Amino acid sequence: MTTPDVEEYPVSGRDSGPYALTTGPDGALWFTLVHSARIGRLVPGQEPTSHQLAPDSSPTVICNGPDGALWFTTYRAHRIGRITTAGQVTEFAPPTPECGPFGIAAGPDGALWFTETAADRIGRITTDGTVTEYPLPRPRTGASPSAFPSAIAAAGDAMWFTMNRANAIGRIGMDGRITVQELPTEAAAPVGIAVGPDGSVWFTEIAAGQIGRRTPDGRITEYPLPDRTARPHAVTTDADGTAWFTEWGANRVGSITPDGTITLHDLPTPASEPHGITVGPDGALWTALETGALARIEPTTTTVGAGCPCNRASGCHVQRA
């Protein structure tokens, strides 16, 4: 199905659950099938292919590795996986059992960094499989006893990650030193995180219906979405510094520029459950729809104008694409 700026490409059955995706070193889109325990590959215009993993392993987030392979987390199997473009799979077990790995990203040091949701740790794995774990600081008094670190992204000489239950974002340096910054909105429940070319850290606040931005000087600005039940989930940035995000609750993909201009793209299939999002090999934005497809969103030029439906003061404008 299509709209003027969105195309959908079926890649699986409705119950397979495309969840996260990335552009691989071979120029194809690689994605996780969280419910059917497979890693998929799509070249637009060709038939999708996939590779079977252990049953009930729940492959979750996938990223392009520094060694020419794809790396991914398996949430229920508690493993870090590696798959070559030829389909050869290797898996590694972190030292902490049942750690619930979720987010994963290549770091500036040539290793992969990942979150351990169930163990409140950040993990680092080298391309030969050596794992180091870094415990997170204890949440502040009165907060959830579990930080539940979720997504993670690289930024220059460090990694940034969300702490979903601690209502904070964190930074870990290559020396393992961790700092934490709490969010202004209580119980915002941050999930997705990405870093723009200017060093700004963008993150989604799934429970607050907001997009957050931390500038390099440490200032956090939160941008409420027009639909506060939108449940923004994943976020990525493009070469221009625009942040693109999925709205799981509102069935949309949105973008926000550093000046706060928001554009919303409705997805053609109702209740398609958009999750992961990435810039594709063609420069368009691609998102994984858990109901069985990948969607391509053609970037559009936004125009700042009056009549902002979010009823905020100047500095926030919304355009529906």
Per-residue pLDDT tens over the stretch 14-29: 899 999 999 999 999 9
d(CA 313, CA 299) in angstroms, rounded, equals: 26
pLDDT digits (tens, 9 = 90+) for 140-199: 655 667 899 999 999 999 999 999 999 999 999 999 999 999 999 999 999 999 999 999
Dig out the tokens for 153 from the structure.
């992204």
Cα dist from 97 to 77, 79, 93, 116, 127, whole Å: 10, 9, 8, 10, 20
Spatial contact of 77 and 57, defined as CB atoms under 8 Å apart: yes
Q: Is the pLDDT of residue 30 over 60?
A: yes
Distance CA 183, CA 224 (A): 14
Helices H / strands E in the chain, number of each: 0, 30
What pLDDT digit, counting tens, does each position of 95-117 carry?
Answer: 999 999 999 999 999 999 999 99
From CA 146, how far away is CA 144, in angstroms rounded? 5
Longest CA pairwise span in the chain (Å): 55
What pLDDT is attached to residue 143?
A: 61
This prediction's pTM = 0.92
pLDDT at residue 315, as a whole number:
31
C-alpha 221/C-alpha 59 separation (Å) is: 33
The catalytic residue among 35, 78, 265, 275 is: 275
Amino acid at site 290:
E
Q: Determine the average pLDDT of the residues in 128-135.
A: 98
As a whole number of angstroms, the distance between CA 207 and CA 156 comes to 29
Please report the pLDDT score of residue 14 as a whole number.
87
Q: Can you give the pLDDT at residue 304?
A: 31
Domains of the chain, first to last? 2-320 (2.130.10.10)
Residue 226 to residue 97: CA distance in whole angstroms:
41
Letter for the amino acid at 257? T
With 0-12 / 13-18 / 19 or more C-beta atoms within 10 angstroms meaning exposed / middle / buried, residue 137 is middle
- Average of pLDDT values for 66-90? 98
C-alpha span between 238 and 110 (Å, rounded):
22
Give residue 42's identity as a one-letter amino acid code: L
Label residue 313 by pLDDT band (50, 70, 90): very low
Distance CA 127, CA 227 (A): 42
How confident is the model at residue 5, as a pLDDT? 85
pLDDT at 145: 73
Active site residue 265: no
pLDDT score, position 233: 97
**Average pLDDT value for the chain:** 91
In the predicted structure, residue 256 carries a pLDDT above the cut 70? yes
Secondary structure letter of residue 306 according to DSSP:
S
> CB atoms < 10 A from the CB of 87, how many?
12
242: pLDDT confidence band, cut at 50, 70 and 90? very high
Amino acid 139: pLDDT? 63
